Structure 1
């Protein structure tokens, strides 16, 4: 199982880690932490040294109820940092976390390698055509509504079947438009209650039937710290525990704040698989 990033074939048979770089002042865990060149470059360097294969840059917080960010402001946050990172770490494979086609086009022109869309094209009618035009890997996530409204829309006839139908339709739409490298993200925490997140985790292996890479993003989310009665800052151990479960259920990419610990999870699960009788 491979994806093509800027001419490089990435083998996802052994799972990879995508390190998170939030450029938003209001992200739920590290909002406002990386706001100058020195701190940003240090963060990227640390993630790459810890084993991140991709760096995911986001400038629009998608936490529940997050403030709306104008498109020009999103670009103003992303493009200079994208240029900065590639100037200092030119081989970095950068993913852009956006649901806007204009941000996609400008980011790819500045060297981005992958697009991470929380809305799978639902919030911008030009998104799929734009991704197809640029022929970059496309992460399509499951979400209902918008970041501002999604928690009011956590209703399903049958959670797993509804998500499978959603991805069947989205994958068909994307492939019909000649998007070649599709990655599925079931969207932990997006339009899902805590219980629904754990139902999804229990049945995550069912999404392997699509034959596509699966990305999961549950790092330090409320499904962890609310169960533990703690905070996002105290949720690393819980994150590691759930990362291990997702890997055993077929995850190919872990999107994480804590790269070193995610890489260690992968190494241990790969050792477990290699020695199965």
Structure 2
């Protein structure tokens, strides 16, 4: 793997990271969200049934998704936990069907048993939001399968995360805690080139902490791992929009345009991928960003 040379997709996105799972290199990728849960914060129950789920996932790929992130347990604050057996009932057939269509699938799970089964069904990436709750079994599963692992910063679980959003310097503390968990992964046999970092926007974050993490994204991209930005429709976006509009709150589906702006800014700052609900809007935003930065690069070389 190479270091992190700049290129038209963003200032610091590492070219070599795009080769994961036959993914394109040289640009920020789009990860489409497929929630197979009845209680997700913005689209719970929207894709009930295998056929509806597969159809929506394929539509996201057609709209520009490079990866489809399939999850069977809501991770919103206050969500009820889901047993691994039920989680697998919701996701495994969908993953198998999508893999059969040649879709690059990420398994969004905190459970090692589900990660193992999802990999067996064709998932090529594990997206684990357990954060400081990362288990040794999950490390063993990902090391043995040699799959890319998304290491998310989080404190506590759905019931306790909001109470743990206390930081003196959120960027530095998130960075330090990610590095701490990275050492566990490396010690457990996960190769460094298989580790992807996610600052965990919305997970044990409150107030302006999510915005500070986005503003400090360079502190994470400089660590030499690809960085995933998962901001889509999250509460901090709704709060900012409500403040600007002078309203109480902005419903989750009305946050997609703002999400696309964040995706474009994250790409400019070197994000490896962005995780979103509205794939088409973000794919367009990233295309415009690439054109802008390519033109800027041309001007810079001429001057």
Change in Cα spacing, 1:12 to 1:188, as seen in structure 2 (3 Å) is farther
Cα deviation 1:36-67 (Å, max 9, x = unaligned): 23321220121110111110000010001111
Aligned partner of residue 226 in structure 2, secondary structure: coil
Question: Are 1:217 and 2:219 an aligned pair?
Answer: no
Q: Going by fraction, where is helix more abundant, 1 or 2?
A: 2
The aligned runs of 1:1-277 (5 Å cut-off) are 1-2=16-17, 5-6=20-21, 8=22, 10-87=23-100, 89=101, 91-120=102-131, 122-180=133-191, 181-229=194-242, 230-276=250-296, 277=300
- Contiguous gaps of at least 5 residues in structure 2: 1-15, 243-249
Alignment RMSD: 1.5
Change in Cα spacing, 1:184 to 1:123, as seen in structure 2 (3 Å) is closer
Cα deviation 1:179-202 (Å, max 9, x = unaligned): 221110001111000311111111
- Normalising by the residue count of structure 2, what TM-score does the alignment of the two structures yield? 0.86
- Contiguous gaps of at least 5 residues in structure 1: none
The structural deviation recorded for 1:11 is 4.5
Distance 2:272 2:25 in 1: 6
Distance 1:123 1:58 in 2: 17
Cα deviation 1:105-160 (Å, max 9, x = unaligned): 11111111100000247243311111001100000000000122101100013211
Distance 2:20 2:269 in 1: 25
The structural deviation recorded for 1:217 is 0.6
The structural deviation recorded for 1:172 is 2.3
User: Do 1:101 and 1:126's aligned partners in 2 also have CA atoms closer than 8 Å?
Assistant: yes
The structural deviation recorded for 1:216 is 0.7
User: Do 1:2 and 1:11's aligned partners in 2 also have CA atoms closer than 8 Å?
Assistant: no
Distance 2:19 2:272 in 1: 15
Change in Cα spacing, 1:239 to 1:3, as seen in structure 2 (3 Å) is closer
Distance 1:105 1:3 in 2: 23
Distance 2:30 2:263 in 1: 11
Change in Cα spacing, 1:238 to 1:268, as seen in structure 2 (3 Å) is same
Task: Give the equivalent residue in structure 1 for 2:247.
Answer: none
- Normalising by the residue count of structure 1, what TM-score does the alignment of the two structures yield? 0.94
Cα deviation 1:3-40 (Å, max 9, x = unaligned): 5545x3x3443111011100000001110011123321
Aligned partner of residue 293 in structure 2, secondary structure: helix
Count matched residues: 273
